[in-house]
Structure 1
Amino acid sequence: MYKALLIAALALTGFAAQADEAVTVTPYAYGIKLDIAKVISQTGPDEFKDVSPVQLEYLDSNGERHVVEYQVVGTGHTG
């Protein structure tokens, strides 16, 4: 019983930590100055759509995490 409660408490702590790390997704607009010191991740475009959103997650020069979303042109192939 004690072990189950401990596991549940640790799981809830993990969810709380993830909620603290939530970052607002900023839509890119022409002319925005991006301070990208390190790229963390980038999603790929949907190759089956002509235009699809892509997100770039990065750290700025102060170590703060940001996510910017922009549109890219895919290959548009459907078959």
Structure 2
Amino acid sequence: MKKILLLGLPLIVSLSAYALEPAFSKDSVDYKYGMRLDINKIVNITSPADVCGPTPVEMTYLDSKGAEHVLHYSVMGTGCTN
């Protein structure tokens, strides 16, 4: 029984870590410090993960010409407590 548990535990941990990875769009851009953004209207922002530390989010927005863009950036997760 202990052998089954020891063999199954890494599988469960790896699957749960895989589930936490965000699934971002292919056409999205990573934000870089100093990047000029032409944001006219924000369409959607994904929710940050429930972790204590930086976590990626995705923002979909429209520029002044009406073109849609998708941007990745990091925010502090919601899992931290005081």
The answer for the alignment partner of 2:71 in structure 1 is 68
Large movers: runs of 4+ above 3 Å: 75-78
CA distance in 2, matches of 1:75, 1:37: 27
- Count of residue pairs brought into register by the alignment: 57
Q: Which amino acid aligns with 2:72?
A: E
TM-score by length of 1: 0.63
RMSD: 2.0
TM-score by length of 2: 0.61
User: 1:6-43 CA distances to partner (integer Å, 9 max, x unpaired)?
Assistant: xxxxxxxxxxxxxxxx7710000000011000100000
Give the gaps of 5 or more residues in structure 1.
1-21
Q: For the Cα contact (< 8 Å) 1:23–1:65, is it kept in 2? A: no
